[in-house]
Amino acid sequence: MSTTDRPIDRQIQELRAELAPSPEELPTLVTEFTTGRGRIGTLGVLAAQQRRIITSDRRSLLLLATRCADEPLGTWFAGLADGESAALRTLPALAAACGPAANGEPLAGCQAYPSYLAWLALNGRPGPVAAALVANFTAWGGYCASLAGALRRFHGFGEDACAFFDFFAQPAAELERAAAEALGPVGLTGPDLAAAREYGRLLQSYEAQFWTTLA
């Protein structure tokens, strides 16, 4: 059986398609930058918010890893936590390129996503959480790719300043494949798939709130 024939792969693909925002839902902030109208100071705020978000998300992912430490999914969550650590190291260069953040204090609309992920780390079922996370990666990665391109084109940002967005703009196919392997070929049960949809919809809503708050 090829990977594309496995139930888990079909389930993740269907979740990704179901949760994908429409082109009309492109965040205003991303649109502004891709058309050359973005304000660099706003990205200073983004960097300040992301420092808090990534620190929180890393701990949440490590907690999820401990909840299934003896299963392949534990290794997958731990790998995501390592990725958050790598992303955190790219933030100082972005912040320096953007100048002082207009507001370094936590913004409720930006911090809703990590707060929900922390709730999931305590209360969510790890399998559905993994499926929901991986299904949302593509949209976030696309936004980051658009911002990286716009910053190079309109603002002359170099590699270091764009490294944060470049990191998340990498194709999510490998993470998706690894998640499918960790979840197992049989796929999610009906209740777990329903939970993944619920988690995914809320994660997507909180991510949209992040962009709206910055805009």
Task: Note the pTM of the prediction, 2 decimals.
Answer: 0.94
Please check whether residue 9 lies inside any domain of the structure.
Answer: no
Q: Which amino acid is at 4?
A: T
Asked whether 99 and 40 are in contact (CB, 8 A), the reply is yes
For residues 124-133, one letter each, b for 16 or more C-beta atoms within 10 angstroms of the residue's C-beta and e for the rest, the string is bbbbbbbbbb
Provide the pLDDT for residue 102.
53
Provide the pLDDT for residue 53.
98
CA distance linking residue 81 with residue 128, whole number of Å: 17
Provide the pLDDT for residue 120.
98
Asked whether 152 and 36 are in contact (CB, 8 A), the reply is no
CA dihedral 79, 84, 86, 89 (to 10 degrees): -160
Please check whether residue 185 lies inside any domain of the structure.
Answer: yes
C-beta neighbour count of 1 within 10 angstroms: 8
Domain encompassing residue 153: 27-214
Residue carrying structure tokens 């002082």? 100
Please check whether residue 22 lies inside any domain of the structure.
Answer: no
DSSP state of 22: P
CATH of residue 107's domain is 1.20.910.10
Number of domains in the chain: 1
Token readout for 188 is 């999610």
Provide the pLDDT for residue 101.
67
Give me the tens of pLDDT residue by residue for the chain, a chain 215 residues long. Answer: 455 578 999 999 999 999 988 877 789 999 999 999 999 999 999 999 999 999 999 999 999 999 999 999 999 999 999 999 999 999 999 999 998 765 579 999 999 999 999 999 999 999 999 999 999 998 999 999 999 999 999 999 999 999 999 999 998 889 999 999 999 988 899 999 999 999 999 999 999 999 999 99
> Count of residues for the chain?
215
**Which long-range CB contacts under 8 A does 35-42 form with residues at least 24 apart?**
36/150, 36/153, 36/154, 38/150, 38/154, 40/97, 40/98, 40/99, 40/155, 41/98, 41/99, 41/101, 41/102, 42/102, 42/214, 42/215
CA distance linking residue 201 with residue 86, whole number of Å: 27
Please check whether residue 125 lies inside any domain of the structure.
Answer: yes
Please check whether residue 78 lies inside any domain of the structure.
Answer: yes
Which helix (H) or strand (E) segment holds residue 197: the answer is: helix 190-214
Please check whether residue 15 lies inside any domain of the structure.
Answer: no
CA distance linking residue 192 with residue 27, whole number of Å: 30
